[in-house]
Amino acid sequence: MNKAQLIEDLRQRQRKAGYISIDILESVSDADVLDSYVRCAQCGWRGISDERLDKIIVQARDTQHFLDLAEVEEHSPHTPRMT
């Protein structure tokens, strides 16, 4: 998957969810948008290296596939893995 397209798709998901104002969402960097999907909202832990994240993006067929791949990789220490 193309990184720029993925980030735009993730922004669109956030727009649709409505959890954050459009003005704030548009002011957030691309890196921060992407990071928000691989970082624990509770503790800030990030279980995916930049190198691995880039590989997952390339592997992903679409945005949902990216989210599925990232979810398998990223688990904060206080969140048990779901199998």
Tens digits of per-residue pLDDT, 27-70?
999 999 999 888 877 788 887 889 999 999 999 999 999 998 88
8 A C-beta contact, residue 20 and residue 14: yes
Rounded mean pLDDT, 71-75: 63
Q: Determine the Cα–Cα distance for residues 77 and 65; give it in Å rounded to an integer.
A: 23
> What average pLDDT does this structure show over 1-23?
92
Instruction: Read off the pTM.
Output: 0.79
Here the tokens at position 22 are 């459009």
Q: 9 with 63: CB under 8 angstroms?
A: yes
